Amino acid sequence: MNSEPLLLATPSGDALKLRPEGPWTAANVSALETLSRSVGAEVDRSRVVTLDLSGVSALDTLGAWVLEKLSRRAASSGRSAEFVGVADHFSGLMDEVRQVNRHTPAPVAEQNPILLRLGDLGKSTVGSREDITIFLQMLGALSMAVIGVLRRPRSLRLTSLIYQLYRIGWQAIPIVALITFLIGAIIAQQGFFHFRRFGAESYTVDMVGILVLRELGVLIVAIMVAGRSGSAYTAELGSMKMREEIDALSTMGLDPVDVLILPRVAALVIALPILAFIGSIAALYGGGLVAQFYGDMGPAIYIARLHEAISVTHFEVGILKAPFMALVIGIVACSEGLRVKGSAESLGRQTTTSVVKSIFLVIVLDGLFAIFFASIGM
Amino acid sequence: MMDQSQDEFAIRVRDLVVGFGRQTVLDHLSLDVRRGEILGLVGASGGGKSVLMRTIIGLIPRQGGTIEVMGQPVGGRKEGAATTWGILFQQGALFSSLTVRQNVQFPLRENLELSQELMDEIAIAKLEMVGLRAQDADKYPAELSGGMTKRVALARALALDPPILFLDEPTSGLDPIAAGDFDALIKTLQKTLGLTVFMVTHDLASLTTVCDRVAALADGKIVAIGPMRELLQSEHPWVRAYFHGKRSQMLQHEMR
């Protein structure tokens, strides 16, 4: 028996006899395509085409379809084609294949690319209004939940709150401390390197102190928390949404905002200032180490310079921002989580959106605070 | 002798032992699936039906025993798995980032070299064979109903015309009409394509209407195997409880 598929074409006048042989199966698909293409011109020339299947040793849907396609090509424009010698065990398959691909759906009209772009722009503009609405709705729902808790303090989910604090606060300390330590060290090194040229090395300490306490400490920590904990919130709530857990909660008469979202956001609001404080201290420590080993400035002088350069105001400016940033991260993460639809892809998309959006908003918020504190003279 | 057994049996399982930790799920289980038959596998929930199926297709490692599929011992070969068998998972397991058409084309694209045109035609042909329309091809899995998801998953399982089809609870989660249609579809496809079907199911109606033979799995072993009529006569206590419980009474009347 043949191990390679063959297609023998015997033309006689107007008629053409095609005799496929061997295994017409998916495994030989490239050979099948070449064979059917090679007889294409002859099929188009002939008025009567006969397909003799008696030599076919194996046939599957793919092979049957290639043969059926040949016969349809032969039968087009008033000519005729027929199958002969179809073995019994192939006839069911051949009959089945004759039914398929009869209704080709109309191809989707190609849209104007410029209009498409404009359409997308319009959609995202409308979408951003929806984003703001959702943000405000979540803020409102959270405020209501907070009022509820203030009215009945026992309704606070303390266990959940403490668990979330442990996860996003305590467990985040090592990585937050490490990264802010490195950033403090890098800033100090850059300061010493560049300020040395005009003999202003001692001002490096001012730069490190003010920059870290006012801006960088809290900003870096907020961005890290958005990436680390915000994404976790979105993914958790999203998969709960997918598995209908949130619907189950609602039907039991519980408000998902009370049960799931308030403890999470509250934990963030409590943890972020603490993490920002730890981060700032780690950054100052990193700066101090660089001062000693790279800038030849002993710890005593470093601390004394720090003492002169910074005041409690700088610290306050930094740490006051932290709870607001936490609130923004929490609201964005939770509302994006609740927007997850059925598929795994949507979960991934919302998690990405959540991180990107919360980092963007954290930076915008930082800018607004900078203007605010400058204008009130802090 | 060897040749004969190769011709006769699609799947041969001998002395299969599978366990997790200290728990043994399948205990020296033996099972033969004949070529071209539809074999239904019943068993208690959590009794190892899905474990048996997943062990045969190589998703769960076995602790002992041999498995032969189409005369070839199973183990370690992932190459060409899609051409040996198609699997319909319980939830469909469609790739959610691909459209229906791309889902069906996926095995073709990965295993064969063929033109995009032919691939499109084959995908539509498969979809029409499982009773879907060409218009459904551009939908995403999230937009499909339960019955449609199962049909698309079946089309994907059949994309390469594998000789063996594994079905994990194909009718669960379908309404009786859709389940009946699906059973009929499996029967038709099995006849047309000459498939061997291994079906894990709880659906007594599918067992009576489409299965040629039924195997009952209890205590990690196959305790009874044969046509449905024979199983109804079985004296094994679990099999009796399964087929003679209240829920089975009606079907049993039909059979007699």
Contact B141 A26 (CB under 8 A): no
Residues 6+ apart with CB under 8 A from A16: A9, A10, A42, A43, A45, A46, A48, A49, A50, A74
Task: Say what the pLDDT of residue B7 is.
Answer: 67
In a domain, A122, yes or no: no
Task: Say what the pLDDT of residue A264 is.
Answer: 94
Q: How distant is the Cα of A61 from the closest Cα of chain B, in angstroms?
A: 7
Domain co-membership, A65 together with A207: no
Residue A16 sits in a domain whose CATH number is: 3.30.750.24
Residue of A nearest to B121 (CA): A101
**Which of A27, A100, A345 lies closest to B128 in CB terms?**
A100
Residue range B107-126: mean pLDDT, rounded: 82
Domain co-membership, A207 together with A297: yes
In a domain, A121, yes or no: no
Residues of B with CB under 8 A from a CB of A: 83, 96-97, 108, 111-115, 118, 121-122, 124-126, 128-129, 133-135, 137, 140-142, 158, 160-161, 191-194
Q: How distant is the Cα of B119 from the closest Cα of chain A, in angstroms?
A: 9
Whether pLDDT at B253 is above 70: no
Domain co-membership, A144 together with A48: no
Task: Say what the pLDDT of residue B3 is.
Answer: 46
Instruction: Give the whole-angstrom CA distance, residue A48 versus residue A11.
Output: 10
Band the pLDDT of B6: cuts 50, 70, 90: low
Q: How distant is the Cα of A104 from the closest Cα of chain B, in angstroms?
A: 7
Q: Range of A351's domain?
A: 127-375
- Complex ipTM: 0.73
- CA proximity to B190, closest of B128, B130, B106, B108: B130
Task: Say what the pLDDT of residue A147 is.
Answer: 93
Task: Say what the pLDDT of residue A136 is.
Answer: 94
Residue of B nearest to A348 (CA): B97
Contact A61 B108 (CB under 8 A): no
Task: Say what the pLDDT of residue A70 is.
Answer: 79
Contact A69 B141 (CB under 8 A): no
Contact B121 A103 (CB under 8 A): no
In a domain, A166, yes or no: yes
Whether pLDDT at B40 is above 90: no
Identify from A70, A96, A346, A349 which residue to disrupt to test chain B contact, counting B C-beta atoms within 10 A and taking the largest count: A96
Contact A89 B194 (CB under 8 A): yes
Contact B142 A342 (CB under 8 A): yes
Chain A residues touching residue B158 (CB < 8 angstroms): 61
Identify from B113, B128, B149, B164 which residue to disrupt to test chain A contact, counting A C-beta atoms within 10 A and taking the largest count: B128
Identify from A34, A57, A60, A62 which residue to disrupt to test chain B contact, counting B C-beta atoms within 10 A and taking the largest count: A62
Whether pLDDT at B102 is above 80: yes
**Which of B122, B134, B191 lies closest to A62 in CB terms?**
B122
C-alpha distance from residue A101 to each of A125, A133, A237, B159 (Å):
41, 47, 43, 15
Cβ atoms of A103 and A71 closer than 8 Å = no
Domain co-membership, A87 together with A160: no
In a domain, A172, yes or no: yes
Chain B residues touching residue A37 (CB < 8 angstroms): none
Chain A residues touching residue B141 (CB < 8 angstroms): 343
Contact A343 B96 (CB under 8 A): yes
Domain co-membership, A88 together with A153: no
Q: How distant is the Cα of B127 from the closest Cα of chain A, in angstroms?
A: 9
Q: How distant is the Cα of B84 from the closest Cα of chain A, in angstroms?
A: 11
Give the A:B interface size as CB pairs under 8 Å.
74
Contact B193 A99 (CB under 8 A): no
Whether pLDDT at B85 is above 50: yes
Domain co-membership, A78 together with A171: no
Instruction: Give the whole-angstrom CA distance, residue A118 versus residue A97.
Output: 44
Contact B96 A62 (CB under 8 A): no
Q: How distant is the Cα of A38 from the closest Cα of chain B, in angstroms?
A: 15
In a domain, A105, yes or no: no
Residue of A nearest to B117 (CA): A33
Whether pLDDT at B79 is above 90: no
In a domain, A168, yes or no: yes
Task: Say what the pLDDT of residue A176 is.
Answer: 95
Contact B114 A33 (CB under 8 A): yes
Domain count, chain A: 2
Pairs from A269-273 (Cβ < 8 Å, separation ≥ 24): A269/A323, A269/A326, A269/A327, A269/A330, A270/A165, A270/A169, A271/A165, A271/A168, A271/A169, A271/A172, A271/A225, A271/A326, A272/A221, A272/A222, A272/A225, A272/A322, A272/A323, A272/A325, A272/A326, A272/A329, A273/A319, A273/A322, A273/A323, A273/A326
pTM above 0.80, yes or no: no
Domain co-membership, A332 together with A193: yes
Task: Say what the pLDDT of residue A151 is.
Answer: 92
Instruction: Give the whole-angstrom CA distance, residue B122 versus residue A100.
Output: 9
Higher pLDDT pick, B173 / A170: A170
Domain co-membership, A132 together with A175: yes
C-alpha distance from residue A245 to each of A134, A238, A249, B123, B226 (Å):
21, 10, 6, 36, 42
Q: Which residues of chain A have pLDDT under 50?
A: 1
In a domain, A111, yes or no: no
Domain co-membership, A177 together with A297: yes
Contact B158 A104 (CB under 8 A): no
Instruction: Give the whole-angstrom CA distance, residue A290 versus residue A304.
Output: 16
Whether pLDDT at B213 is above 70: yes
Chain A residues touching residue B140 (CB < 8 angstroms): 343
Domain co-membership, A94 together with A170: no
Contact B161 A96 (CB under 8 A): no
Contact B124 A100 (CB under 8 A): yes
Domain co-membership, A154 together with A258: yes
Domain co-membership, A85 together with A131: no
In a domain, A110, yes or no: no
Kindly report, residue by residue over A79-97, the tens digit of the pLDDT. 777 888 777 777 777 777 7
